[in-house]
A and B are shown apart, each in its own frame.
Chain A
Amino acid sequence: MSDIKADSKLDTSGKCCPMPIVETNVAMKKINSGEILEIIATDPGTLTDIPSWCERTGHTLMESGESDGVIQFYVKKG
């Protein structure tokens, strides 16, 4: 469990590509710059997709982790 406090949470559990990235884009548009989005995913593709998406879009991947097939990302909006 992370100590990071998220401003918003997106749970994509059970969904697969392209939905986690599609829904992350939508969720990120709803928060303000500097705020943190917590993303929960079970699609292993997000392990590469989310860090790469952050790099391209100017957001900061603050922390990520995986436990029992559940992947957690904390992304600060740029």
Chain B
Amino acid sequence: MSASPALDHVQAGAHGHHYTTTGLDSRKIAIWAFIGSECMLFASLISTYLIYKGRSVVGPFPHEACAPPACQVPLKAILNIPVTSASTFVLLMSSLAMVLALAAVENRNLPKLTTGDRILGSSKLWLWATCILGATFLAFQAFEFTSFVHEGLSIRTNLFGSSFFTLTGFHGAHVTAGVIWLGTLLAIDYKRGLGPGDAINVDIAALYWHFVDVVWIAIFTLIYLIR
């Protein structure tokens, strides 16, 4: 019993869990509240993009090709759907790898009888897979940004460029933070091994990673596919 009754509600419980009066781990409450606030951040960025959509005075434009005499310089639609579809698939698969990493950490102590069990039960393998897929997504984004700049679209070119680079740049920054976070979990796994006691930490990282994935699901449809 602590001096303050209020502190009793937030004392760490068994296995270092931080339970609250709700009976829920405070760290999970915090990450869900953070994810909720992030929803509103990305809503503001998506709103900005949609408000400015179709209002750029000069090209390049996202979907609309422009040929003389409408334009002095012929312009083609700048969004590369095949490349972005591939990067979307990569990010979706990274979410699968992440849930498998979490399951592997939770089931670390279970016996692994078959080769399949050993593969599915390797948290290092799935954390590596998630990191590599996340880095691959970032490489796709770097390729896309570079090609856009070469085609004459920068953040200062027009309203499309400003809102597009801000939105996708913020998302890319979130993916980068996620890859670094997963890298720290991998380092811990190599140093002392991640076990069921660490599952909550991996779960929090996984929730963040999946959130980054669902934001991209919205961006891919609203920005890339809807003309």
Is B one of A's binding partners? Answer: no
Binding site for B on A (CB under 8 A): none
Give residues in B with beta carbon < 8 Å to A: none
